[in-house]
Every structure is written in structure tokens, then in C-alpha cells.
Chain A
Amino acid sequence: MKILVCLKQVPHQDARLDVNGDGTWIKEDGIKFEINSYDTYALEEALRIKDAGEAEVVVASIGPDRVTQALRTALGMGADRAVHVNDAACQGSDALGIAKTLAAIAKEESPDLILMGLMSDDGNASAVPPMVAELVGMPSATAVVATERSEGNIRVERELEGGAVEVVDVPTPCLLAVQSGLNQVRYASLKGIMAAKKKPLDVKTAADLGVADAVGTAGAKVKIEKIYQPLRGEGAEILSGSTDEIVSSLMNKIKELGLL
């Protein structure tokens, strides 16, 4: 069995976000990056299947040199092989361009299962996974919070609103986009990190994958025109002063609300 896990490297959730010079993205210089949180659950799910029997886990990611670190981390956690699309031409791709690139990798790899995170912590779009499934002709399910594998089928629970779930039978090969909290994600062990250095990491370009026309700003149908701090509206009255002064203000409010 072969499992393809598609990862995105995103700014660390605690990174300070400043808008870049032309106002279309954030300044990436000097901030820390990490594997997209949703994707870590997808990787963990793949590694659990590998731990339970015979599976090869291939991780794929698109992005500049820094993405090597994310892929090495994934290899350190237990993935077997990595594919890195490192091509400046991919910068500014929209979701469909990214999906076409990942679909091209999927067609080369012919996995039995593709696992991805439901969305990314930067773009928050939940766009790419079902697109990849459509492009490679696989059935798909999103917001997966539980899985149960049997021959030729994965029974999944999809998260609905208010804590309800929808149970769906998805025949394999298929693509699942997993919700956060699906499992408890492992850390890479020191031994794993050492072993990861010897694992194969293929570097490809968009042209290698035959998707040069689909990627980059030239290939994008959807473009970010500007990015900015949200208009904060009224917002909170920020209490200042010493801890005692702050507590005293909060106490007044609690009394005013009739809660004390």
C-alpha cells in the first residue's frame, strides 16, 4: 500500500505577521515556519497505517528552499520518501494551480490513499484537497474526524455543525482531507531525524510535472489584490495599569453585571 501525504509549510502560528511592500502577502523574512497544523494530523494518520502493517508513506510539498525543513521533519517522523516541488515559477499560484501540481505528483505515484489537511493555517481556503481528488478521478471526503479501514473501503466520519457527524463509505483509492484533532501527532525522535538524512528527497519543477502553464501568477485565476489588518470596529476597551488596577476594573464590571 502506498500513501501520499501532501503538506504545506506555513508561517508559525505565533509568528508576527506584517504586510509586505506591495500589500499582497506577508513579509516572510525572519519569521519561523512550520508544517501546517491540519497536515500534521494527515501525516500522523498515514504513519499509523504504516505502523499497523505494510505501507510506504510519500510526502510531497510545494515551495522554496525552506520547505526542505518541513519535508525532513516529516521524514524524521517516519515518512519514507519526499517530493519537493521547488520552483520560483510556482510563486503566486492559486489553489487550482497547486492542486494541478499535486495531482501531477499523484498521477506519477499512483497512491492507494491520499491524505491532506482540511485547510491551511495561512490561506484558510479548504480548497486544494477536493480539487486534487477531482483532477485524479478519486472519491473524496473532507473534515474527516474518524476512519475505519476495510478491504477496498474506508468508512469515515465527517464533522458537521454542532458536534454531529456524517458517516460516509469512501471506496479506495481515495483522498481524505482530515480535520484537526483526528489523532495525537507524534514528534520526530532524534533517531528518526538522523535516519531522515539518508531518506530520498526528490526535487522537481513545474515543468518536470507538465504543469508549467497552470502555476504562478500567470496561471492563477484567483489573485490576492490586497491584504490588510481587519477593520477592528469598536473593539475592546483595553485596560491598562498594574495588575491590581486591572483586577479592580474587572471586579467593577463583574459587580455591574450583577454576578457578585
Chain B
Amino acid sequence: MSILIVTEIQKGAIREASYELVAFAQKMGVEYASLVIGSGIDGLASEFGGKGGGKTFVADDASLENYNVDGYSAAIQAAVAASGASMVLISNTPSGWDVAPRVAAALDAGFVSDVFDYQDGNFVRRVFNGKLDAQVSSSGSATVVSVQPGAIAAFEGTTDGSTETVSVDTSGARARFVEIKLADAKGVDLSKAEVIVSGGRGVGDPEKFAEVIQPLADALGGAMGASRPVVDAGWLPHEYQVGSSGQVVTPKLYIACGISGAIQHLVGMKGSNFIVAINKDADAPIFEFAQLGVVGDLFEVVPALTAAIAAAKG
């Protein structure tokens, strides 16, 4: 067996997650080659080859300058054929999850997604929104594996590298890249708050944010945040969202109220200095990441805490 590592370019450089794939392949103890996809990328490819990538295939075409699913799928399939790899490793990023399953289906390969570890010959991944872990095996002639960014420390050494051009026919591409729109300037900037009090689905309805969550944030001189389900339900605007698709925050104190702790939220707040979780479900994944936990009713604890702070301030 051998592996093809599919790298990703972000802001003109190979992103950190691609070096994590190198570490993952090395942990598996399997021979690997790499693939860099883009336009005008010879320099990036040879640099990556020497910094962990080893033998690095280069799919270089003007049509590959921006990510597009059909062109990237064609590039990956061409590199699989050129390298003879039976396993593809790719990062589970917005482009990774867009293209990886298409490649798997095209190769009639098994697909294991969002893996965070490799143990006893199995891939380890989270299921049920973080409530359970699964060890997964794959058989068959080919496998595509997507790896969760940040799950494993990136490779930082050097390797003997070489590059080889792989030609790609992108004439069949259908979906067309138009542009990237950056996030609007935030009306609510959570990145500078010393204290963030966030509410999740467990808060129950939009009015409770104003009645229960915001007063605690105010009492502590902090800001209010929310988890994705709250924003999806339209209870609060997107600017309050903490998580991988919202704001990444690192306050001194983060108080999570009625938040179960799905991966997408944890990514946004696990760098906080101190985390308190209040949730009625003792099995909620948020307790894994918190330093202090309260298994109980947030509607009892939070108002009582708000009152105690007000009293302490006199």
C-alpha cells in the first residue's frame, strides 16, 4: 500500500493542515507521495517536497488557480494513477469535504471522513456530534481518508524531495469558481472580550438570551456569544456565533450555557484561558473541555450567579 497526500494552498502557501497529513502518513508507517494543485506552483511544490512531502506531484494549470471541484477531482485522480497510491489522505476542510467523496466514488473506494487519529490499524473519528467515538476500518482496493485539521501535530522536519509534473485534463469542469467573499466586519467583536457568556440550544428560546445570558455577560463586563444551532434557528445574528464558521475566541473566562459542545463550537473556544460549562446532560462533550462543570439547570444557576456578582460589586 502507498499513500497520496493531497495538500491545500491557502493565501499563497501550503497550509498547516497539509503538514499534519505528512505526520498522519508517518504515524501510519506507510510510504507516501504528495500532490500540490494550483497554478504557478513549482516553487511551492519543491519546498513542500523538502519539508515532509517527499516525492511531490505537481498539477499545475491556470484552471486550477482557484479551487473547483471537477478540476481538483481530475487532478487527484491523475495523481493517484501516476503514483499508484491505494490511499488518498486529504484535509477535512471546505474544499476537502467537497472533493474527497467525489474522488472516492470515482475510484469506487471506501471513504472515511474527518478522522482525528489512527490506532490499532483503524481510523478514529467522532460520531453523533461528538458524543461517541468510532474506530473504523477500510478494505477494498482503494480508500480515501479525510483528516480533521488540528487533530495531529504537523510534521516540522526535512525530507528528500523531488517533483514530478502530472498532466490534468480540466476541460470537463462544470461548476465554476466566481469569487471569495470575506466575512463582513463584525458588529460584535468577541475576540477582545475578557469574558464571554455563550448560550446554546439548551437556552430554549430567543427571549431567554436577553433575560438570562446577556445579564450575566453584562455583570462580568463581558460579551454574549452563541453556538451554531442558535444562529441557525434565527435566535441571534451570525455575528454572535462562536465556532469554526463563526468567531474563534480566547477570553480569560468562557461560560458555556446549554451548549453540548459539537466539534464546530469547540474549535472556536477551546483556546479560552478558563472554561465553565453549565449543562443538564452530564454526558455532553463540552465537559471534556471545561475546567469547571455544573450538571444542572442553567435557569437556576445563571440568574443566581448574576445576582451574586451584582451583590459583590455592591
Question: Which of B105, B195, B273, B274 has the most CB atoms of chain A within a 10 A radius of its CB?
Answer: B105
A163 vs B131: C-alpha distance when bound (angstroms): 26
The stretch of A57-65, A68-76, A198-206, A226-234 that contacts the partner chain: A226-234
A129 vs B100: C-alpha distance when bound (angstroms): 11
For B186-213 the 0/1 string (1 means CB < 8 A from A) is: 0000000011000001000000000000
Q: Is A237 within 8 A of B101, CB to CB?
A: no
The stretch of A47-55, A154-162, A189-197 that contacts the partner chain: A154-162
Q: Is A160 within 8 A of B105, CB to CB?
A: no
A253 vs B176: C-alpha distance when bound (angstroms): 53
Sample (18) of A-B pairs whose CB atoms are under 8 Å apart: A17-B283, A96-B111, A124-B113, A125-B114, A134-B73, A141-B175, A158-B94, A158-B98, A161-B94, A163-B238, A166-B181, A174-B175, A221-B143, A230-B130, A233-B288, A237-B291, A243-B296, A250-B301
Q: Is B111 within 8 A of A131, CB to CB?
A: yes
- A side interface size, CB within 8 A: 82
Residue ranges of B at the interface with A (Cβ–Cβ < 8 Å): 67-70, 73, 92-94, 97-102, 104-106, 108-114, 122, 125-140, 143, 174-184, 194-195, 201, 220-221, 228-229, 231-234, 238, 244-248, 252-253, 273-277, 282-283, 285, 287-296, 300-301, 304-305, 308-309, 312-313
Q: Is A142 within 8 A of B98, CB to CB?
A: yes
Among residues of A, the one whose C-beta sits closest to the C-beta of B141 is A221
Q: Is B69 within 8 A of A253, CB to CB?
A: no
Least Cβ–Cβ distance between B283 and chain A, in angstroms: 8
> What are the residues of chain B within 8 A of A250 when measuring CB–CB?
276, 292, 294, 301, 305
A11 vs B119: C-alpha distance when bound (angstroms): 27
A259 vs B308: C-alpha distance when bound (angstroms): 14
Least Cβ–Cβ distance between A72 and chain B, in angstroms: 24
Q: Chain A's interface: helix, strand, loop or mixed, by majority?
A: mixed
A169 vs B70: C-alpha distance when bound (angstroms): 12
Q: Is A237 within 8 A of B183, CB to CB?
A: no
Among residues of B, the one whose C-beta sits closest to the C-beta of A236 is B293
Q: Is A228 within 8 A of B133, CB to CB?
A: yes
Q: Is A129 within 8 A of B110, CB to CB?
A: no
> What are the residues of chain A within 8 A of B220 when measuring CB–CB?
254, 259-260
Known contacts A165-B180, A236-B293; A95 and B101 CB within 8 A of each other: yes
Among residues of A, the one whose C-beta sits closest to the C-beta of B311 is A251
Among residues of A, the one whose C-beta sits closest to the C-beta of B178 is A167
Among residues of A, the one whose C-beta sits closest to the C-beta of B140 is A221
Partner of B94, one of A132, A159, A247, A249: A159
